[in-house]
Every structure is written in C-alpha cells, then in structure tokens.
Amino acid sequence: MSNLTFATASQLARMIRDREVSAIEVLDAYLAKISKHNSKLNAICTLDEENARDRAKLADEALAKGENWGALHGVPITIKDIFETAGLRTTAGYIPLKDYVPQQDATAVARLRAAGAVIIGKTNMAELAADYQSTNSLFPRVNNPWHIDFTPGGSSGGSAAAVAAGLSPLDLGNDFGGSVRQPAHFCGIYSLKPTDRRISTAGQIPEVPGMPICIRQMMTAGCFARSIADIQLCFSLIAGADSRRPDVPPVPLDAPSGKSLQNLKIAWIDEWPEIPVASEIRDAMQSIARKLSDTGVRVDRWLPKNFDVSQILNLYARMAAYLNSYAQPKDKYNVRRSLELIFRSATQGDKELKKLGDFGSLLPEIFNPKLKGYFETLTERDRFVSYMDEALEPWDVWLTPVAATPAFTHRPSWNAVEIDGKSYPYGLANGGYTIPFNLSGHPAVIIPIGQTQNGLPIGLQIVGKRWCEMELFAIAADIDKVVGNLQHPPGY
C-alpha cells in the first residue's frame, strides 16, 4: 500500500496500462492514505471520493475494451484550490467563495482530465494565494509532513504536503512569487515554474470570479511531483496556446540539445550578497558545486553584473501592486490585510534588511493606481527581462538557493523569520530567491538535495532560458542523478 502511494505518476500510469494494478486499486490506496494522515496535515481541503471512484471505474472499463484516454489514464491527482474545477467546490481559501462551484474547468485542469487523470480533490492553500504559509479562514492550516510544527510553505502548501506525504503523486499549482518553488523546497519534492505565459492561467484565481483579468504577467501555472519525469509529463500535457487566453503564444516545445553534463556551462551562487542564506543551505549549495565539479562538470560561481536585489524586489513589488489592484475587491477585509502585511514587513526584521523588503512605498500604487505608472513599471520590467536573457545566454543553467531558510515554525503571517540568529523580514526570507525569476519570466525547476541537521528538506533552484523547458528538464534530470536526494517523510 505504502509503496504504491509513493510510486511516481509515470510509474502508476504504466502499471495501470499494463494491468498490473487497476485504477480502482490505486485510488483506494490513496484514499486510505488520505483517511489516515490528512487530518493532521490538512493538505486536502475538499475530497471528491464519489466522483473519483466513478472515474476510476470508467478508466478500468475503458482499458478492458482496449481504450486508452492518455498519458495519465486512471492516475489519481490533486489540484490546488485556486484552479476552477467543474462541479467541484473551488474556494482559493477565500470566505466569499466558500460555496463557489464552477461550471467549467480551468484550462490546465481540463487538459489533465483529457489525459486520463482522476481528480481526488483540491489541496489547501494560502488565502487568495497571498502568503508564504498556507493558512486561510475556511480550513485548518496546512502542516509540514516532516514536522507538523513547521509550515510546508505557501501559497501551495497543501500541494507540496500532499505530494511529499504520498497523498497524491502529482499536483497542479501556481506561482506568482515562489508558490510552487518555496513549498517544494520546504517539503523535499520536485516542482516547476515555467516560462511566463507558457501555460494558460484561464480559470485560475486570485482574480475573483466576476473581476477583470488583471494578472497578465508573472503569474504561472506549475506542478509538484516526486520525479523530474512527472514534472516534464505534466508540463507537456498542459503547456500551449489557449483560445481562452489569447496572450499565451503558440510557441512549440523546444528540443533538448542532448549535451552531456560535462559539456555544459553551469553557473551557481550560494547566496545573494544582500540576502545571506542559512548556513546549512549555503553549505549544501557549496557541496553541490563540489560534487558536480568532481564528476567533470564545469561549474562556475557567478552573479550577473548590476544584479541589484533591492531594485529587483522593488520593481517586482510595484508590478504586483498594479496587477493585484483590480484583481480583487477592495473590501474592508482585503484593505486591512494589505495594511497589516505592509506594517509587519516595515517593522520586523534586521534594520538593514527591512529596507529591501519595505512595501510602504507601494501605498500609492495599491490604493491609487495610475495607468501611466503601470506602463512605466511594465517598461522597466521589459528591460529587466531583456537584461536577464542576455546575462544567462552564455550559461546552460544557473543554480541558486530557493529561499533563505528551510521550513520554519508556524507563525502569524508576515512575522519575521530567524536565520542563524538574525531576524529577516518575512517576504525577504521566503521570496528573495524566487521573485527575481517571476519578474524575469525564466523557468525554474526545484529538486531536493538534502536535509538540515534537524531533518528539514533543502531544495535547489535550477534556472533555465525562457521557452526552453525541455532542455531545462534534461539538464535537471542529469543534475538530479548526481546530487538529487529525494526522501519520504517518516511515518507515511
């Protein structure tokens, strides 16, 4: 039972297709695991057992007749509660949506269904995807399967916790500032943030239903899994142009170069100068560079010239303020939450570090956005994208930390995080290493590379060139063979 629920989605698909196990048997194994463990993790917020069972039975009947629905035929998966699912409650952890049942699937969800997936249920998350922990007013907070006193991260904490604990082999998430990368790092699994606009976000909140489509940059759909192969499979199924989102370009998937690791140029950095990481993460990054170098790989420590983290974070924050300004209602609750975030970020943490993560200057954009200001900010972002394209051109990939810390204990949202005795502003500790690549639009894969002395996972961020995900997967898979360290949390 346990071995079955820790099989990869690709393995399960093959086993079901070869009639080694039925779709019903696989579903029952996951449902038993969920029944046993979800009450302490709160990873799955809406279980759809009846419909999942009906779908699994149909999958088995189809195979018996020689029919195959696709690459995920009969494989159970979960979906972050931010994606609309036809006939299945979708809340985004937001009280006004507590009874919202969409009539249509999000595009990415529809494509996974079309590939034969069986949706078990929806995974818990941060309210409207606006936190690096996964708490909201509708469901209990999500706990980290490695230690329930610690957060699994956010906003896709339920996704990462479910996959890490074997409650699901594959989960669909989204990433606007690190939401698929930081939780994968905190929970010790694999994840992908693709190139900006590579995957349609149609049917994805936080644009509350009825509001205009405002978040047209930096928001991506991604995925969580327990292997690079599963991430690549999921990506290949959901990527591509969509008539519901005309701004998703019809860019074909790239062809991997086929170069060996020894013929690659790999850049790496163990920390930004402005945002030191926890010593165990820095040691892990240095160990990665040594291991790769020992196998004959060219690995060079590198940081682009004029890579000013303060300017990058400020530009991202201004972009985010403009994009979110019209995406959500300006009710008293949302206004109060925004002010609390700004206050805590401005008042907590080391004095110098607070200057990097101070959102107080964004109040004009949040409460009185101007069209000219938005276009000026968008133009600055275009320059940064071009700058990063040029800087990354000589390199095949760039290896960086995912966050400044491993998972930390639960705390009120946006309270400071301690790193080796130093107090870091919350947003800086969690998003300082992921946000630059939301701003630039470059794809990134997260792989697990080890654990802290306390047994908390450590992940590695592998950044590739825009529109070159297939090359990124190939390189990440080779790196994973050398330094990857996937482990399952004890007791699951």
Q: Residue 179 catalytic?
A: yes
Q: Residue 80 catalytic?
A: yes
| Residue tagged active-site, from 179, 200, 227, 338 | 179
All residues at 6 or more sequence positions from 439 whose CB lies less than 8 Å from its CB, including other chains: 218, 312, 315, 316, 319, 381, 384, 385
Q: How far is CA 477 from CA 26, 316, 317, 324, in A?
A: 26, 30, 33, 35
The neighbouring-strand residues paired with 174 are: 221
User: Are 196 and 245 spatial neighbours (Cβ–Cβ below 8 Å)?
Assistant: no
Q: Residue 134 catalytic?
A: no
- How far is residue 225's CA from residue 143's CA, in Å, rounded to a whole number? 18
| Residue tagged active-site, from 10, 22, 33, 80 | 80
The encoded tokens of residue 427 equal 């947003």
305 class by beta-carbon count within 10 Å (0-12 exposed, 13-18 middle, 19+ buried): exposed
User: Are 342 and 386 spatial neighbours (Cβ–Cβ below 8 Å)?
Assistant: no
The catalytic residues are 80, 155, 179
